[in-house]
Chain A
């Protein structure tokens, strides 16, 4: 991490690393989904090669048709649609996680790339940094 900071401070042309944020929690029941999203938005300021992946209950973060009025918490599902504006365009969902929850791409609020588990494993293996929530 300190190497990365040095690179950035030195000439502006820092080393670009591959960062993957792994989302595995449903929204609202815990704070992980929202906090993870905040970290991704912060990471956008560092011009890194960012991927976001959604596996297990993390796929529930991307469901359309959310109305949080009744539980009086912030509806951050729309923020996923803003990621594109921060040049975070690599969103991946594991097919097995969607299947286990009876979900299809049509149920999701953003366009994603659906990967099978082996493809997801390979993508994960080629990262420099993996941060998991």
Chain B
């Protein structure tokens, strides 16, 4: 399962809910305002770091760039571009968008 989150973790609870429902081997892709969670010093960083024990976390590069956050990405989070986004969708049996 690929979990896609697009809301800021400091405004909505989508990321929190998604991370509560992930199973080992799943992946979480952060896009749009959700990318802030994968940056150093954010209050959501600890949640991302503990989730990385079981799941791979990805963040969409163009969304990080547009928010001035590219240089602050947490270690262990993989940055993907749009074709990487497509690859993730095709690699997983199903997707869940936590709108």
Name the residue on B nearest A68 (C-beta): B66
| Size range of the chain A interface in the assembly | 20 to 34
B33 touches A64 (CB 8 A): no
A102 touches B7 (CB 8 A): no
A56 touches B68 (CB 8 A): no
Q: Report which of B32, B45, B69 forms a contact with A29, defined as CB distance below 8 A.
A: B32
**Interface hit among A6-14, A69-77, A113-121:** A69-77
Most buried by A among B61, B62, B67: B67
**Interface hit among A20-28, A34-42, A80-88, A125-133:** A20-28
| Size range of the chain B interface in the assembly | 20 to 34
Given contacts A57-B33, A100-B43, A101-B41, whether A26 and B62 have CB atoms under 8 Å apart is no
Query: For the complex, is B11 an interface residue (Cβ under 8 Å from A)?
Result: yes
A56 touches B11 (CB 8 A): yes
How many Å lie between the Cα of A108 and that of B39 in the bound state?
16
Query: For the complex, is B91 an interface residue (Cβ under 8 Å from A)?
Result: no
Query: For the complex, is B78 an interface residue (Cβ under 8 Å from A)?
Result: no
Given contacts A26-B11, A28-B33, whether A102 and B40 have CB atoms under 8 Å apart is yes
Give the shortest distance, in Å, between B25 (CB) and chain A (any CB).
Answer: 29
Binding site for B on A (CB under 8 A): 25-30, 56-57, 60, 63-71, 73, 75, 77, 100-103, 107
Q: Which 6 A-B pairs have the closest CB atoms?
A: A102-B41, A70-B62, A29-B33, A63-B68, A65-B68, A68-B66
Binding site for A on B (CB under 8 A): 6-8, 10-11, 32-33, 36, 39-43, 45, 61-63, 65-72, 81
